[in-house]
Amino acid sequence: MSLTMLEKVLYDLGVDRGAKKAFREDPDALLARYRLSVDEVRLLRDFDLHELAARGVNPMLLMGYWRLSGESIPAYLRRIAAPLQPDAGPDTTTTERES
Amino acid sequence: MGRIVGGFLVPHDPLMFAAADAIPAERRDAVFAAYEDAARRLRDLRADVVVVFGTDHYILFGPGCLPQALIGIGELDGPIDRMPGLDRREIPHHPELADHVLRHVLANDFDLACAKVLTVDHSIAVPQQLIVAPAGDVPVIPFYLACGVDPVIPIRRAARLGRLLREAVEAWPGDERVAVIGSGGISHSVGAADMGRINGDFDRMVLDHVVRGDVDGLCAMPDETVLREGGNGALEIRNFVAAMSAVPGARGEVIAYHAVPEWITGLGFLQVHATGEPAEVAA
């Protein structure tokens, strides 16, 4: 578990054209190049902004990396504000509560 | 000897370019008019060189090397993060004075990293293209202070660096007139869950401190307070403090203030007037 390695991955995904391309093509293969735990790989692959931020990752890195998701800034804000629901699909950014 | 003849504090909000149409044209024009006003004022100062204090946004410097403070002493271009209306270009530089400043600062027990060739980001390029270039495109000496990436430079260190810059300029054998620019937004939150929140009260408080020339008051604010009231981007007031500390007898004048939620930032434009005489720098 390493905040510093998470920031290294996110920095590369923000500024390194080769790393961005590799992540788009095969995120698991790209992430395997770094010393990450299984849990950290999941956070990065799932764009779990809320948990990454909770672990202290610099939010400017998160914004750069979010571009790889192809989603909007409003979606970014929803995602960073709320935890992902387990086993949910990609549209888990809703803040609606279960009744 | 060289002289610091005054300065400016201005924002570098990339959304002015990346989301130019997010606000009505009249408001957008008012923001850009503030830069034009600053450019006219800079021309009136007849500066030969402009020193700009900017912020890396975790683009230039990565986890492999994160300088607390850095000066660019050689060739310059940028921005690395070009955007519509902000093209990448060569930037005039002043290697002799920049090298003198670097060595003066190092000789006075302040560790300062240097870039021998530097592609700047938007925090330097925005004031360079919107203020310095229209005012005559005089050479720029860029500083980067760690404002956006932990660990940030302690704000009193930023003030100390500004004072050392002034001392270095005054020890320079040439007669250059030097202006300084502190580049940064006031309240804004970048990438955090409260992105878009602007705190007008906090912004006015910062503006008031600058108008009074109250560097100590700005330095007395704990980072926790700045983060809570102004957001993570407000830590850029370090650049304000450094620039103000370089100007003899600094007194501020508000050129304009615009709170623009669509551009997520409280945008303050100030001129920092020099009212004091060149003097020795206190440690």
Q: Which candidate, B74, B165, B179, places its Cα nearest to that of B127? A: B179
pLDDT > 90 fraction of chain B, expressed in percent and rounded: 97
Separation CA B83–CA B74 (nearest Å): 24
Q: What mean pLDDT comes out for the span B260-273? A: 97
Nearest to B193 among A7, A14, A81 (CB): A81
Residue A97: per-residue pLDDT: 37
How many residue pairs bridge chain A and chain B with CB atoms within 8 Å of each other? 45
Burial bucket for residue B146 (CB in 10 Å: 0-12, 13-18, 19+): buried
Give this complex's ipTM: 0.90
Q: For residue A8, give the nearest of B59, B63, B148 by CB distance.
A: B63
Residues of B near A (Cβ–Cβ under 8 Å) read 57-59, 62-64, 148-150, 190-193, 195-196, 232
Please say if the pLDDT value at position B50 is more than 50: yes
> Measured between alpha carbons, how far is B243 from B252 in angstroms, rounded to an integer?
11
> Using a CB-CB distance cutoff of 8 angstroms, which residues of chain B are in contact with residue A34?
none
Contacts of A64 in chain B (CB under 8 A): 58-59
Contact A14 B195 (CB under 8 A): no
pLDDT in the model for residue B60: 96
- The nearest alpha carbon in chain A to B56 belongs to A60
Q: Which of B242, B261, B234 has the alpha carbon at shortest distance from B8? A: B242
Partners of B149 on chain A (C-beta within 8 Å) are 58, 60
| Average pLDDT of the residues of chain B | 96
Kindly report the nearest CA distance between residue B208 and chain A, in angstroms: 29
Q: Which residues contact B44 (CB under 8 A, 6 or more apart)?
A: none
For the stretch B185-238, pLDDT in tens is: 999 999 999 999 999 999 999 999 999 999 999 999 999 999 999 999 999 999
pLDDT tens for each residue of A40-73: 999 999 999 999 999 999 999 999 999 999 999 8
Residue in chain A closest to B63 (alpha carbons) equals: A8
Q: Is the pLDDT of residue A89 over 60?
A: no
Nearest to A58 among B58, B64, B195 (CB): B58
Residue B137 has pLDDT above 70, yes or no: yes
Residues in A closer than 8 angstroms to B63, CB to CB, are 4, 7-8, 11
Band (pLDDT 50/70/90 cuts) for residue A86 is low
From CA A45, how far away is CA A69, in angstroms rounded?
A: 10
> Tens digits of per-residue pLDDT, B72-115?
999 999 999 999 999 999 999 999 999 999 999 999 999 999 99
Percent of chain A with pLDDT over 70: 85
What pTM, to 2 d.p., does this model score? 0.94
The token duo for B243 is 């620039």
CB atoms within 10 A of CB B55: 27
Nearest CB partner across the interface for A61, out of B58, B64, B195: B58
**Helix B95-107 vs helix B155-170: crossing angle, to nearest 10:** 120
Q: What is the pLDDT of residues A3-13, one digit of tens each?
A: 999 999 999 99
Question: β-strands B89-91, B140-145: how paired?
Answer: unpaired
Task: State the pLDDT at residue A1.
Answer: 58
Q: Which two tokens stand for residue B128?
A: 């360079």
Q: What are phi and psi of A44, to 5 degrees?
A: -75, -45
Nearest CA in chain B to A16: B59
Q: Out of B62, B190, B195, whose CB is closest to A11?
A: B62
Q: Do B193 and A53 touch (CB under 8 A)?
A: yes
* Residue B277 pLDDT: 67
Contact A79, A93 (CB under 8 A): yes
Residue B282, pLDDT > 90, answer no
Find chain A residues with C-beta within 8 A of B148's C-beta.
58, 60
Backbone angles phi, psi at B182, to 5 degrees: -100, 120
Q: Residue A7: which residues within 8 A CB-CB, separation 6 or more?
A: A57, A58, A61, B63
pLDDT of A94 > 50? The answer is no
HSE value, Cβ hemisphere, 13 Å, CA-based, for B10: 32
Is the backbone of residue B249 left (phi > 0), alpha (psi -120 to 50) or beta?
left
CB atoms within 10 A of CB A25: 9
Of B59, B62, B191, the CB nearest to A59: B191
pLDDT value, residue A80:
94
Question: Are B5 and B271 a contacting pair, CB within 8 Å?
Answer: no
CB contact under 8 A, A59 and B196: no
Residue B117, strand partner residues: B75
Distance CA B33, CA B154 (A): 33
Res B217: pLDDT? 98
pLDDT value for A44: 98
The stretch B154-174 carries a mean pLDDT of 98
